[in-house]
Amino acid sequence: MESLLVSTGVVALAEIGDKTQLLAFVLAARFKKPWPIVAGILAATVVNHGLAGALGAWITAVLTPEVLRWVLGASFLGMAVWTMIPDQIEENETQVATRLGVFGATLVTFFLAEMGDKTQIATVAMAAHYAAPLLVVIGTTLGMLIADVPAVFAGDKLAQKIPMKLVHGIAAAVFAVLGVATLLGVGARWGF
C-alpha cells in the first residue's frame, strides 16, 4: 500500500506545473471537450507508465540489491533537482494532426510529452524501489490524473492560484527524502 500512496503523492506533486499539465491546459483551451481529453490522458499515462513500471521491474531483476540501492538513491536525488527546474511546453507537441480527433490528439501528444519526462523516470525508479510495480503504475497514473484533470476543467484560472515554487519544493523534498533513505538502506532495514 505504501508504494501506491507514495507514487500517487509524489507524481501528483511533481506534475503540478509540469509540461504535461501545461499541455492539458492547452488542449482544454483548444478543443473545449474535457471528457475525451481526460480519456486520452488516462490512456496515454497507463501505456507510458506501464512501460516505465515494467522497465523498473526488469531493472530490479537485473541489478544486485547493493547496486540497485545506489542507482535508485542517485535517481531520486536527481529527480529532486529536476523537479525544481520549471518545464516549458513546446508548441509542436500541441500541433498533432487534428484528424485524430480530441481523444487521439490527446493520446498521442501526452504519450510523446511523457517520454523521458520526470514522472516517467520517477515511475521507473519507484517501480524498481518497491516490490509492487503494478501498484506503482496505478499510483503514478492516479497522481497524473489528480494533477491534470483539474487542469482540463479549470484551465488557466487554477494555474494562477497554485504556488508552483512551493509545490515543486515539496515534491523535490519528497524525492530527496526517498533518495537519502534509499542510499542509507532505510527501507531494507525495515523490510520495505
* pLDDT bucket at 144, cuts 50 / 70 / 90: very high
pLDDT tens column, 92-135: 444 554 567 889 888 988 888 888 788 888 899 899 888 899 99
CA distances from 183 to 71, 149, 166, 174 (A): 9, 34, 25, 14
- What single-letter DSSP state applies at residue 87? P
Q: Tell me the average pLDDT of the chain.
A: 80
Output the pLDDT for position 97.
43
pLDDT tens column, 160-171: 565 657 766 776
Structural domains of the chain, count: 1
Helix axes 19-31, 101-114, angle to 10 degrees: 170
Query: In the numeric block, which cell numbers belong to residue 189?
Result: 532495514
b/e for 28-42, b at 16 or more Cβ within 10 A?
Answer: beebeebebbbebbb
Burial class (CB in 10 A: 0-12, 13-18, 19+), 24: buried
pLDDT tens column, 35-61: 999 999 999 999 999 999 999 999 888
Residues whose CB is less than 8 angstroms from the CB of residue 62 and which lie 6 or more positions away in sequence, other chains included? none
Say yes or no to pLDDT of 191 above 50. no
Say yes or no to pLDDT of 146 above 90. yes
Give the CA radius of gyration of the chain.
Answer: 16
Q: What is the span of the domain harbouring residue 173?
A: 2-189
Output the pLDDT for position 82.
65
Say yes or no to pLDDT of 88 above 90. no
Question: Among 26-30, 85-89, 141-145, which range has the highest average pLDDT?
Answer: 141-145
pLDDT > 90 fraction of the chain, expressed in percent and rounded: 27
Q: How far is CA 16 from the centre of its chain?
A: 10
Residue carrying C-alpha cell 487554477: 158
Output the pLDDT for position 1.
85
